[in-house]
Amino acid sequence: MSKVMIAPGRYVQGAGAIEEIGEHLKGLGTNSLVLGGRKGLNSVRGEMEASLDLAGIAARFESFGGECSRCEIERFVALVRQSGSDLVIGVGGGKALDTAKATAHYTGLPVAVVPTIAATDAPCSALSVIYSPDGVYESYVLFRSNPDLVLVDTAIIAKAPVRLLVSGMGDALATWFEADACAKAFAGNLTGGSSTTAALSLARLCYDILMQYGYLAKLAVEQGVVTEAVEKVVEANTLLSGLGFESSGLAAAHAIHNGLTALPETHQAYHGEKVAFGTLVQMVLENRSRQELEEVLRFCSEVGLPTCLADLGAVQVSEEKIMQVSAKACSEGETIHNEPFKVSARSVYSAILAADAL
């Protein structure tokens, strides 16, 4: 199996970076469709319009419906064809960005993504996570290429609710453990190849940055300011986690997240919050050391990530419901089968309850 590493065409990060977007998009298109949530679009629209105008790029702004579902993607594909757009720009959180990437894929157009929160590692990836209109996970859709541009304005990120940054830390927390599991199992990454040493090293760097700077970044964002700790954690949440998971692989943590979406009680929890608990479940499955578990638990407690089912909204859950989560996590083709040992719904059920007890 060949080693394969993929990455976005260009990654730009910094306070005020949105004012440079037109310059970075020159040559990619002249007639853009900009899609995103209302809050996300409102936070960047003025600066984005001015920068695109200076670069000679027209922009049509359209609101995103809230779920990256097949019907929402089809709606935007139709809008692109109707408007004659030659460039797609996604603005907002992970689901809006995934919708933009899918829209660009199905219309054969370049895509730029502008995250206004650092809540997931979606921006840099060459995939979209598809949900039902009701928010239940359905599938991953893989694309041939990553976004042409990922532009992250940390001044905008710092003004978003701190819970979103913390959720991004939860998503990034899984990166190293999933990459390590895939490496031990000689499992393929999301490209179908195996991990490079570079990708595995970036996954570990992602974890180390979270442990060192995560709490400091949370304190700064609570004040709405950008510090070097914020810059490091935003890069970990967005770039390092994105490169690490995609080029090294996913394992149990994200499969547990997918299983948890079957519980309506958890729908109020963010993606990264469910992934953080999924990471603890993976660590139990792998029989990680008490020292490692305590380090992750301490980190989660410091920054405010969930460490039990009740934290996710699942206060009273039956054995039947936990088995439903476990069975969904172990579905055929799920990433939990990248673990370096055989996993069953029963073993996942046991790990969920043990992680909850911790």
For the chain, report the end-to-end CA distance as a whole number of angstroms: 38
From 153, 271, 311, 356, active-site residue = 271
Question: Contact, 306 vs 276, CB < 8 A?
Answer: yes
Locate tokens 């469709």: which residue?
A: 33
Name the active-site residue from 153, 254, 311, 356.
Answer: 254
The label of the residue with tokens 């089809």 reads 74
337 as an active site residue: the answer is no
Residues contacting residue 212 through CB under 8 Å, at least 6 positions apart: none
Cβ neighbours for 273, distance < 8 A, ≥ 6 positions apart: 167, 170, 305, 306, 311, 312
Q: Which residues contact 104 (CB under 8 A, 6 or more apart)?
A: 88, 110, 111
3-class secondary structure, 69: coil
> For the chain, what is the total number of helices (H) and then of strands (E)?
14, 8
**Angstrom distance (rounded) from CA 194 to CA 187:** 7
Q: What's phi and psi for 306, nearest 5 deg?
A: -65, 145
* Residue position matching structure tokens 């996993």: 343
Q: Tally the residues of the chain.
A: 358
Which one of the listed residues 24, 98, 153, 257 is annotated catalytic? 257
How far is Cα 314 from Cα 198, in angstroms, rounded to an integer? 38
Active-site hit among 171, 180, 311, 356? 171
Bridge partners of residue 89, in order along the sequence: 34, 112
How buried is residue 323: exposed, middle or buried, by Cβ count under 10 Å (0-12/13-18/19+)?
Answer: middle
Measure CA 100 to chain center: 14
Active site annotation includes 105: no
**How many Å apart are CA 342 and CA 358, to the nearest integer?**
23
Cα gap 39→31, rounded to integer Å = 23
CB 25 within 8 A of CB 87: yes
Catalytically annotated residues: 171, 254, 257, 271
